[in-house]
Amino acid sequence: MQNMSEIHIHIVSFDVPYPANYGGVIDVYYKAKALAEKGIKVHLHCFEYGRKNAPELKKTFHEVHYYKRDISKKHLFKSRPFIIETRISEHLVNNLLKDDYPILMEGLHTTGLLLEKRLKHRKRIVRTHNIEHEYYSNLSRAETDLFKKYYFFNEAVKLKKYEKILSKADLLLAISRTDYDYFSKKYKRVVYLPAFHPHTVVRSKTGRGKYVLYHGNLSVPENINAVTTLLNQVFINSQIPIKIAGLNPPRSLLRLVATNPLAEIITNPSDDLLNDLIKNAHVNIFFTNQATGLKLKLLNALYNGRFVLANDKILNGSNLDKLCELTNRISEMKTHLESLMKREFTATMKIERQIHLQTIYTNGDNVEKLIGLIV
């Protein structure tokens, strides 16, 4: 058996993955960390555009490199997608050419490297975080600003055409069952590798909480639409308190929350406060019109919260259906919530949740699988 300390891998991240506090970078960081904890030498390459250099990364990984993402508007008029063009870097290519280690590209965003002829003899792996053209198409439908709407639509068209670049990769790692089904029909070597995350033990409180929690990035149209729908159609004239927590809510949302005496908005909560809100809620509610990727905030709620109420687009290929209360009709959500608020979250439920999560979302098992694919 090969000595783990002799194995090296380049991981190319679309963003600086620390702090690991939003969906995409959570998987990037905890996957890389799991490899490093096995003794593998991780050479981490990060594109930066807003998030700062993170000294903490140097404590964990063999090497850390940063590259400025070129977000100048000239890239909007090119035939390739903006998210790809802005992450093409000669500096990155030169660093990768210093050895012959495998290269793991995080997201379609970093696959400009598949166009690079100088790297064609390397082992090149792509972690697919989404079916990107579907994601951008959904963003376009949800957006109300005309310029952004056109940008998302245009990007979706370019991404659909560009996606065939994945045929040049040696291996695709799909993050959800739904994504696996999609990619495996189009490309030769595709493996389902569930999301990596910080959780190991279910810490849900038993008993009852007194409120429902919705949390997410409140500057994103998808989440703004979800909260608006919940307040206008589910929690109107309801006796159930709802707390809404998240980043940068627009004024329109603040005004809407103010019209409901049992609704409260918590703006830009700290990680500790958000964790307390999740733990003490009776129900964590998730609702979306976009079936994209895996919502890592859903995993967080299952490991740390009590009941989870969600629609099937949130659960999309996650294999988490049996751990959640499922409802797809807005008209049925209020009744479902009223019923849930009367139920106790029991120790038996907690144990069942731990067993189920261990069968799919255990970093230890999944990192062993990943090492087998790298070597």
The model's pTM is: 0.90
Dihedral (CA of 182, 187, 188, 189) sign: negative
Determine which helix (DSSP H) or strand (DSSP E) holds 124, and give its type and residue range. strand 124-128
Please list, residue by residue across 157-171, b when 16 or more beta carbons sit within 10 angstroms of its beta carbon and e when fewer do: ebbbebbebbebbeb
Architecture of domain 4-193: 3-Layer(aba) Sandwich (3.40)
Hunting for tokens 């590209």 — which residue is that? 105
4-193 against 212-359: fold identical: yes
CATH number for the region 212-359 comes to 3.40.50.2000
Between strands 242-247 and 263-267, the pairing is parallel
Domain ranges of the chain: 4-193, 212-359
Paired strand residues for 214: 244
User: Given this model, what pLDDT does residue 99 score?
Assistant: 97
The whole-angstrom separation of Cα 153 and Cα 149 is 6
pLDDT in tens, the chain (375 residues): 567 778 999 999 999 999 998 878 999 999 999 999 999 999 999 999 989 899 999 999 999 999 999 988 999 999 999 999 999 999 999 999 999 999 999 999 999 999 999 999 999 999 999 999 999 998 898 888 999 999 999 999 999 999 999 999 999 999 989 899 999 999 999 999 999 999 999 999 999 999 999 998 898 888 899 999 999 999 999 999 999 999 899 999 999 999 999 999 999 999 899 999 999 999 999 988 776 656 788 999 999 999 999 988 888 778 888 999 999 888 899 999 999 999 999 999 999 999 999 988 888 899 999 999 998
